[in-house]
Every structure is written in C-alpha cells, then in structure tokens.
Structure 1
C-alpha cells in the first residue's frame, strides 16, 4: 500500500529547500547563455526539451525508475551513471547532489546513506519507503526543469512570468519522458545532446561563473 505521506515526502524531496544544492548547478546552461546560443524563452524551452528527451532527463528518469525496482543492483546502476558522465562538471553535478540527497534522506527517513549518483539515490529511497516510482520520475524531471528555468531567470533577460510560461510549456514533455522511462531499461540509455555536453566542458573554463556547472 502506498505511503499516505507520499505527496508530502515528494514535495519535500523535490522542493528547492531540500539541501541538495540544486540552485548552484545550471547543467551547462550558463555556458550556452554566455555564448549566445540561448537568448530568449523560446530558445530556453527548446534547449531544456532536448535535454529532457535526448539527454540527462531521459537517462536520469530511466536510472531512477530502475533503481526503484525490487532487486535492483543500485551500485551497478550508480557506477553506470557515473561512467556515462561526459565531463568533470556533469560528474560533479550528479555525484554531489546524490551524496547530499542520500545523506539528508537517511537522516530524516532512515534510508540508505551510501553516496550514489542523484537519480539512483532517489530511486533507492523511493523503493525503501514504498513510494510510486512513476510519480517520483515525473516529479524529479519537473524539479530538474524548474531548476534550469530558475537558473535562466537569474542569468539572462527573462522575467519570472516568462520563466513560468516556459515551464508550463514543458509539462507535456516531462510527462512524455517520464512515461518512456517507465517502459525502458538501462540497456536503452542513449545520449544525443552533444552540443550540451560540449557546453558543459567549455563551462569549466568560463572566466566568470555564478554556477558550479
């Protein structure tokens, strides 16, 4: 039976207030804004939609869902995810957030505190508390998208209202990617966001930065 506190638990985990430091990561978005590849809300929405459908969004969704399944080899999934990180900053982003999530969630809910990549750490906690993997993936992807929109609002000429319009327009994409993750396996993970990966590499040498990635 699902935990009656499921809504409250997910609201806590995916809130900006949950201490994983998500606000300090832009997933390479700071680089593409700096170089002029993303200049308005339409470009931002397209960029995030591509990340969701073809990059880290899809990959993280599959990993989270797989880690939440009975008998999942969490360490093998975490090792796979770490090996797939295309740059130092991407590795930092998923490992640092995963470690912070595992530590905090262990202290609060008594789950496994082993440091692992972020989506796998979430999946382990979902399984431990008997929560819905499908809902977890959907809300995880929404939080990921919202964090990128928030980064753009802070870094480019984009108002709060336009940022929320962008996030609202991404809701069907989030639902699409979450549904696909529930039907996919780690063997089906693939990445087709090379420009975003290269941007993450270039960000390491960006002269002035406000985000860690």
Structure 2
C-alpha cells in the first residue's frame, strides 16, 4: 500500500495534533474547521450534498433503455464491474493523487492529475459529467466550508489552469476537512457506487431493499478497490470498461432521457 512517507516544510494543510506513526500520516479527530471528522465525512457523502451526481447515469441509462440491464442481478453485476474496472483504476486513483498533491501544496501537480482524468474519459458526456459535478462540489465546498484548498482550486478553474473534475475536487475538499487518505478514497468509492445504484433504482424496477442489499454486498470490494486506487501511479490511470464508454457515447442520441449522462 502506497502511503505518504515524506513530510516537507511546505505543509499549510497540517493540522494541530497531526502525527506520523510507522510512516503513516494520521490526523486528529477534529477537522480543520474544528468539527468532528466523522460528521463532515457523513455530510459530504450524503446524497443530499449538492453535487448533482443523482442526475448522471454515466451510460447506464443506455443499457436500461436497450434492455442490456433487465433485472436486479444484471444491474448489480454491471455496477460492480463499473466500480472495479472504471472507478478504482481511474477517478478513485485520481482522488488519492489529488489528496497527496493538496497535502503537499503542489497545485501544479493538481493540474496535471486533472488533465489525465479528462484524457481517460473517452466519451464527451462522461467528461462533461465529471466537470459538472466537480464544479458543483467546488462551489458547495467554498460556500459551506470556505477551505483554502477548495478556494485555490476554484481560482485555478477560473484561470482555466484545470477543468476541476469531480475526483480532483473531492481530493482537495477531503484534504481541507482533515480526512485521512484512506477515508477519502474509500468514502469516494462508496458514495459513487451508492449514487449509481440510486440512479439505476429510479430507472428500472429495483426496490429500495434490493438496492441497499447491493450496496451492502459491495463493502469488501470497496475496501479492495480503495487499496488498488491508493497504489496507482498517475501514468497508469485507466478505464477498462469499453462497453460502458460506448453506451455513454450512445446516450446523447437517445430519443428520451431522464439523466444528463
């Protein structure tokens, strides 16, 4: 498992009480705003947090439209594949990298990661969705928490130094709120998966209990994907779910749509 092992003098995001144990950075229970980290984590991963992810299916609506997904079992299989072969090696890995760059105050690194995230999204709708939800997260982070990291990211986006993809914004916000790297990546994976299941639930006959069973069953895989994401190098960011990329490309030509992407 790749962990930040070097602490330099450029540490504006270090908080009182931050320590290192066996080369692993640990943070105090309180976040940088003086609030409980657990409560902040629950807030930013709540479906009510204003990011707009509930309006994006990332191509799944196409599969539901053409009957590629017809029941709960097929929905679960596709969602799990998306988690493992798209999210873990792509956006979640970018979250970890963005977290470290913000922690080390390397905003140039943030721009590089942001560009790579955009490059691995093959469909226009996937890229736009990532930027739209990232922009919403940056705006919410500024208005609700007023954190230095998210403010600086907003300034970079305004200067067109980066697009502000959702993964980058989540990494920056989590750094400012004092989450650990593992908390950041694991919560991103879980929230993203839970959100997608919620979207699929609205588009197909899938009951609330069945949807929550899918979310509960994926817990061990989320932990595994978190480890994959946190050991991924920038040059190895990837998405190996080509069939979903094609579905995303076809989505913008559907005659009727409930989701943006």
Please indicate, yes or no, whether the TM-score normalized by the shorter chain is above 0.5.
yes
The runs of at least 4 consecutive aligned structure 1 residues that moved more than 6 Å come to none
TM superposition shift of 1:130: 2.8
Residues 156-205 of structure 1, C-alpha deviations (whole Å, 9 max, x = no match): 11111111111112112111101111122212222210000000000010
Scaled by the length of structure 1, what TM-score is found? 0.95
- Map Cα deviations across residues 113-140 of structure 1 (whole Å, 9 max, x no partner): 3141001111112223332121111111
| Alignment match, 2:70 | 39
Tell me if structure 2 keeps the 8 A contact 1:59–1:190: yes
Map 1:153-164 onto structure 2 (within 5 A): 153-164=201-212
Q: Does 1:100 align with 2:147?
A: no
Structure 2 residue aligned with 1:66: 97
Q: Distance in 1 between matches of 2:207 and 2:176?
A: 40
User: 1:1-213 alignment to 2 at 5 Å?
Assistant: 1=18, 2=27, 3-4=29-30, 5-69=36-100, 70-71=103-104, 72=106, 73-111=109-147, 112-113=150-151, 114=154, 115=157, 116-213=164-261
Q: In 2, are the aligned partners of 1:45 and 1:170 still within 8 Å (CA)?
A: no
Asked if 2 retains the 8 angstrom alpha-carbon contact of 1:82 and 1:91, the reply is yes
Name the residue aligned to 2:22. none
Q: Give, in whole Å, the separation in 2 of the partners of 1:108 and 1:192.
A: 36
TM-score by length of 2: 0.78
Q: What are structure 2's unaligned runs of at least 5 residues?
A: 1-17, 19-26, 31-35, 158-163
SS in 2 for 1:130: coil
Q: What is the root-mean-square deviation of aligned Cα atoms in Å? A: 1.4
Once the two structures are superposed, residues 41-84 of structure 1 have per-residue CA deviations (whole angstroms, 9 ceiling, x without a partner) of 11111111111111134311110001111334111111111122
Q: Within 1, Cα distance between the matches of 2:168 and 2:83? A: 17
Larger Rg: 2
Q: Separation in 1 of the partners of 2:75 and 2:137?
A: 27
- State the alpha-carbon separation in 2 of the partners of residues 78 and 149 from structure 1: 26
Aligned length: 213
Shift of 1:6: 1.1
